[in-house]
Amino acid sequence: MGDTVIPPDKAEPITCTFSETLFGARSTDIAALKQDLTKVIKGLTKDINEPGDRVDTLVRTSETQGEELDSKLM
């Protein structure tokens, strides 16, 4: 069975009211959803930043050890 294709001139527009989204959430749910998404984004940002922080720490540690080695050699 194939998919039914609706010609553009016969398609109905997708509409939603002010208090409703395409997902059917009400305005009170939207506030909770926004809060949840904010937490997720902050969590992802933290996860993304952590590896960089570790790399920076490793670079700083390597530089410090390199300076210590240089001072011992001189």
Cβ-based neighbour number of residue 7 at 10 Å: 6
CA distance 27 to 42: 23
Alpha-carbon torsion angle 21, 27, 28, 29, nearest 10: 10
In residues, how long is the chain?
74
For residue range 54-72, list pLDDT tens digits in order: 555 555 666 666 676 666 6
- Looking at per-residue pLDDT, the higher value among 17 and 13 belongs to 13
Specify the pTM: 0.28
Note the Cα 12 to chain centre separation in Å: 33
Taking residues 30-54, report their average pLDDT: 69
